[in-house]
Amino acid sequence: MAERVLVVEDEARIASFISRGLRLEGYQVEVAPDGETALDKAFSHPPDLILLDVMLPDIDGLEVCRQLRLAGVDEPVLMLTARDAIPDRVAGLDAGADDYLVKPFAFDELLARVTGSPRRRGRGCRPGA
């Protein structure tokens, strides 16, 4: 069975780019356009990995990550954001993210982080692994 990835991204073009690429690699992908939907999806059908934009229209990604961690969700979270300052990166990691990738990014780097982040926690996140 393919690994499930939740992509939380409010920009439809970016969400489509990421989800299409991951599906071509064999992942099952769900997309949430805002923080509230992300929390609903993460709690109702937990993914194996969450790709989480920081700047969202309702609940920002930092708060989504904090709420997930407070609820005991331990699946890897990779923050995706245009915010590239060191304090922003630290805030993302302090909120509970496992990794932080700055936009724009190359899909190959995103894919390497998708397969590597869960591996660091002792479980691979490759389709069919």
Average confidence score pLDDT of the chain: 89
Which is higher by pLDDT, 120 or 74?
74
Q: Is there a contact between 109 and 103 (Cβ–Cβ < 8 Å)?
A: no
Residue 116's pLDDT is: 80
Largest CA distance in the chain: 38
DSSP H or E stretch at residue 129: none
Residue 119's pLDDT is: 47
SS3 percent helix, strand, coil of the chain, rounded to 5, is 45, 20, 40
Q: Which CATH number does the domain 4-118 belong to among 3.40.980.10, 3.40.50.800, 3.10.20.30, 3.40.50.2300?
A: 3.40.50.2300
Residue 118's pLDDT is: 52
Residue 84 pLDDT grade (very low, low, confident, very high; cuts 50, 70, 90): confident
| Cα gap 118→84, rounded to integer Å | 23
The ranges assigned to domains in the chain are 4-118
Return the residue matching tokens 């990604």: 61
Residue 120's pLDDT is: 45
When pLDDT is averaged across residues 33-41 and rounded to a whole number, the result is: 97
